[in-house]
């Protein structure tokens, strides 16, 4: 019924004052679980949520959002911050620029090398050259050649040479003579961290002095990704991370764990095997993905735009003194309407969308109410006690409702007022008043 609908709308939308230990405990837990589900290392998830909690404690909450929702917003901002804020620079300037690709076998180095070449060729209008420096598997050279052909980028290789340093050095000479302005060196990987492999890549690094050393990691490897990243960074001091295989519903927690552990920016994310699916890494998008929490941040932002804090404070005071009247109610409805369609709005709250799918929380329900309030005089709105039988009849007529509906609405309003007063008497409500 209508009371229930209003109740739920108000409960969800009305704030609970300040963020306190009490009212965010559950949210902190939810967020930690979301992070772990998204493959973030448990220890990191815990450290992270503790930090967020410290930050959030005492933040004032707008009337429009619950502490839980504000928390999620804080978490998202913190995630974005932690993952580098905005996208990071990628340096492909040089004569030629040299980009060294390193990572475990199967992480997607060769595929990424081709994607990057294609990206630089088509978006940056550079003239790239790919170098096959994987000297252990003859098939690796063929693989890169096939990919190079698909994107029409030259591939340099020396099938007989077993010295990766020589191949890389020769390739750069060749690139210069062919006026290639960027050289991408695809190296050999092993299935696990291995001293010989590290030494080889480190030697190539010293010989060619790359502008960028990109560590390629399979985002589906979860926890292992962090250890691998650490080992490679200790040895190569790489300039950036590439997360591959971020396909489908891989949630990308590795991005956070890696950034947290090695403090190097993630520069690209890659999904699928098609060569044109390389993306620059945007912390904002990854934060959304990790949280997997629908449009909650949009909801919070909308609410923040629309709600006037000053007005909210006045309203709280009125509710406390039991002076909440139809005029206030009408203003609340206006505010809610400004934020958009009620059902859409509630639907943005995780978990709520599904629950209210079949319930009629149409804007029409509010229209009827508005019509009745509009038919009241200003005095009646401000002092509902004035509304006697003849006034009720006039309101019914003016709003096109019948007397029963007006009576029911007045009764529901009274109940709602009582409920709001009670909610404000609870500890969490009181805390909201201390300002």
Residues in touch with ligand GDP (CB under 6 A): 103, 105-111, 189, 244-245, 247, 270-273
Specify the DSSP class assigned to residue 292: T
x/- letters, 290..309, toward Mg ion (CB under 5 A): --------------------
Residue 417 binds which of Mg ion, ligand GDP, none (CB < 5-8 A, kind-dependent) = none
Which range of residues in 133-141, 164-172, 221-229, 236-244 is near Mg ion by CB under 5 A? 133-141
Strand-pairing partners, residue 399, are: none
Continuous H helices in 91-159: 109-122, 138-151
- Quick one: 343 exposed, middle or buried, by C-beta within 10 A (0-12, 13-18, 19+)? middle
**Is position 109 annotated in a ligand binding site?**
yes
Nearest to 322, CA basis, from 418, 430, 434, 423: 418
**Is position 105 annotated in a ligand binding site?**
yes
**Is position 103 annotated in a ligand binding site?**
yes
Which range of residues in 1-9, 102-110, 266-274, 402-410 is near Mg ion by CB under 5 A? 102-110
What's the CA gap between 412 and 237, in Å, rounded? 67
- Say whether residue 270 binds Mg ion (CB under 5 A): no
**Is position 17 annotated in a ligand binding site?**
no
Nearer to ligand GDP, 85 or 138 (CB): 138
Residue 288 binds which of ligand GDP, Mg ion, none (CB < 5-8 A, kind-dependent) = none
Instruction: Tokens for 201, please give them.
Output: 């890549």
Nearer to ligand GDP, 133 or 299 (CB): 133
Nearer to ligand GDP, 107 or 375 (CB): 107
Nearer to Mg ion, 110 or 332 (CB): 110
Strand-pairing partners, residue 186, are: 101, 132
**Is position 190 annotated in a ligand binding site?**
yes
User: Looking at beta carbons, which residue is closest to Mg ion?
Assistant: 110
- Does the CA dihedral 288-290-295-298 come out positive or negative? negative
Q: How far is the CB of 248 from ligand GDP (least distance, A)?
A: 8
Consecutive H or E run containing 221: none
**Is position 108 annotated in a ligand binding site?**
yes
Q: How far is the CB of 267 from ligand GDP (least distance, A)?
A: 15
Residue 272 binds which of ligand GDP, Mg ion, none (CB < 5-8 A, kind-dependent) = ligand GDP
Q: How far is the CB of 293 from ligand GDP (least distance, A)?
A: 25
**Is position 110 annotated in a ligand binding site?**
yes
Degrees to nearest 5, angle at CA 9 with 433 and 3: 105
Nearest to 382, CA basis, from 318, 291, 290, 434: 318
Residue 228 binds which of ligand GDP, Mg ion, none (CB < 5-8 A, kind-dependent) = none
Give the alpha-carbon dihedral of 305, 311, 313, 316, to 10 degrees: -110
Strand-pairing partners, residue 188, are: none
Q: How far is the CB of 139 from ligand GDP (least distance, A)?
A: 10
Kindly write down the DSSP assignment for every residue of 348-371, as one continuous string: TSTTHHHHTTTS---HHHHHHHHH
What's the CA gap between 370 and 354, in Å, rounded? 27
Nearer to ligand GDP, 17 or 240 (CB): 240
What's the CA gap between 268 and 383, in Å, rounded? 62
- Say whether residue 107 binds Mg ion (CB under 5 A): no
Residue 37 binds which of ligand GDP, Mg ion, none (CB < 5-8 A, kind-dependent) = none
Q: How far is the CB of 271 from ligand GDP (least distance, A)?
A: 5
Q: How far is the CB of 286 from ligand GDP (least distance, A)?
A: 15
**Is position 351 annotated in a ligand binding site?**
no
Residue 245 binds which of ligand GDP, Mg ion, none (CB < 5-8 A, kind-dependent) = ligand GDP
Give CA separation, 18 vs 26, 63, 68, 231, 346, in Å: 15, 10, 11, 44, 21
Give CA separation, 169 vs 110, 144, 207, 255, 347, in Å: 19, 18, 7, 32, 58
Choose, by CB under 5 A, the member of 110, 118, 157, 233 that binds Mg ion: 110
**Is position 244 annotated in a ligand binding site?**
yes
Which range of residues in 76-84, 139-147, 151-159, 260-268 is near Mg ion by CB under 5 A? 139-147
Consecutive H or E run containing 265: none
What's the CA gap between 236 and 230, in Å, rounded? 10
Binding site feature residues: 103-110, 186-190, 244-247
Report the interface residues with Mg ion, using CB under 5 A.
109-110, 140
Binding site feature residues for GTP: 103-110, 186-190, 244-247
């Amino acid at each position: 019924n209508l009371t229930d609908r209003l109740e739920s709308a108000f409960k969800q939308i009305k704030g609970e004052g300040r963020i306190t230990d009490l009212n965010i405990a559950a949210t902190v837990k939810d967020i930690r679980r979301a992070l772990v589900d998204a493959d973030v290392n448990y220890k990191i998830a815990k450290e992270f949520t503790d930090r967020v909690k410290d930050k959030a404690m005492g933040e004032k909450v707008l009337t429009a959002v619950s502490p839980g929702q504000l928390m999620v917003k804080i978490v998202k901002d913190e995630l974005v911050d932690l993952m580098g804020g905005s996208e990071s620079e990628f340096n492909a300037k040089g004569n030629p620029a040299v980009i060294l690709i390193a990572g475990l076998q199967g992480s997607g180095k060769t595929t990424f090398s081709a994607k990057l070449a294609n990206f630089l060729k088509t978006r940056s209008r550079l003239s790239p050259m790919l170098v096959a420096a994987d000297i252990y598997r003859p098939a690796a050279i063929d693989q890169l050649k096939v990919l190079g052909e698909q994107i029409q980028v030259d591939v340099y290789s020396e099938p007989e040479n077993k010295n990766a340093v020589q191949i890389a050095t020769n390739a750069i000479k060749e690139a210069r003579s062919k006026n290639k302005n960027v050289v991408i060196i695809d190296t050999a990987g092993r299935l696990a961290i291995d001293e010989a492999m590290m030494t080889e890549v480190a030697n190539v690094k010293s010989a060619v002095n790359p502008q960028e050393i990109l560590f390629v990691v399979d985002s589906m490897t979860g926890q292992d990704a962090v250890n691998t990243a650490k080992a490679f960074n200790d040895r190569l001091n790489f300039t950036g991370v590439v997360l591959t295989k971020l396909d489908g519903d891989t949630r990308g927690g590795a991005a956070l764990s890696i950034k947290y552990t090695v403090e190097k920016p993630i520069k690209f994310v890659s999904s699928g095997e098609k060569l044109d699916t390389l993306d620059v890494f945007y912390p904002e998008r990854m934060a959304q993905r990790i949280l997997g929490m629908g449009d909650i941040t949009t909801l919070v932002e909308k609410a923040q735009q629309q709600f006037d804090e000053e007005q909210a404070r006045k309203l709280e005071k009125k509710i406390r003194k039991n002076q909440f009247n139809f005029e206030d109610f009408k203003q609340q409805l206006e505010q809610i309407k400004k934020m958009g369609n009620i059902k859409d709005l509630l639907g943005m709250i995780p978990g709520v969308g599904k629950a209210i799918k079949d319930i009629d929380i149409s804007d029409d329900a509010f229209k009827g109410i508005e019509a009745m309030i509009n038919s009241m005089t200003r005095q009646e709105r401000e002092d509902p006690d004035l509304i006697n039988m003849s006034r009720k009849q006039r309101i019914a007529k003016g709003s096109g409702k019948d007397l029963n509906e007006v009576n029911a609405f007045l009764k529901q309003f009274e109940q709602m007022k009582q409920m709001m007063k009670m909610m404000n008497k609870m500890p969490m409500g009181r805390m909201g008043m201390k300002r």
